[in-house]
Amino acid sequence: MKKLTLDRLLQSQGFGTRKWCRQLIDDGEVSVAGTVVTDYRTAFDTDGLTFRLFDEDWDFHEHVFVALHKPPNFECSRKPSHHPGVLSILPENFTWRDVQPVGRLDHDTTGLLLMSDHGPFIHSQSSPKSHIPKVYVATTAEPVTPELVALLLAGVQLHDEPAPLAAVRCSMVDSHRIEIVLEQGKYHQVKRMLAAAGNHCAALQRVAIGQLTLEGLGLEEGEWCYLDAAELGLLVAGD
């Protein structure tokens, strides 16, 4: 169990500098267990702590682990250039506490995106050495054929890769949709693999990471949620 003074507690949750957090406390903006706290030096056990600020209840999180159902036309960047950044969908204090996307989805790709402020988690999820499968459903311009599936499983050669890249698993969903499972995270990989196989990606959605699925989370486009320990445990490598 960890104790923090109220100003440090608010700062750790991304509500600004310690000076600003002290001002919020002095102004009577913060309450704990229904009682307004005006002394920033008051210390609280953070385990299971809920506090109220800006007329909203907040649970203390030592680290943030978030799943977002990314909508189209959002960039997975802290400094977006052509479209809004995915951080604009989340509470503003997440930016202050350095929450960032785990890997990237193209601006026009939708689906499951992890975000966190925990460096080791970001690294482990992003590293190709982790062999964590990512499951995509691509809508194709041309019909899906058994030959296309077989080619993606066998491997296709991309211009800037030394060796062919193959899907871990691949199957036809319907006449113009194909499910592709990858463990790499190459630039525009699904789109480029489909193009190299003689088709074209008209739309792309990531539906799962490891055993964590969009369907299981029940998130609509633009919705997000904190991940609990059980859900984090689903972010594992394949068989």
Catalytic residue numbers? 106
Tally of CB atoms within 10 A around 127: 11
Q: By the 8 A CB rule, do 67 and 217 touch?
A: yes
State how beta strands 169-174 and 134-140 pair. unpaired
Tokens linked to 124? 């482990």
Tokens, residue 114: 């992890």
For residues 94 and 84, what is the distance between their CA atoms, to the nearest angstrom? 16
Sign of torsion over alpha carbons 17, 10, 93, 205: positive
Residue 152, both tokens = 């993606």
Query: How far apart (Å, rounded) are the C-alpha atoms in residues 18 and 11?
Result: 6
- Amino acid identity at 99: V
CA separation for the pair 134, 169 (Å, rounded): 10
Please state, in angstroms and rounded to a whole number, the distance separating the CA atoms of residues 76 and 28. 36
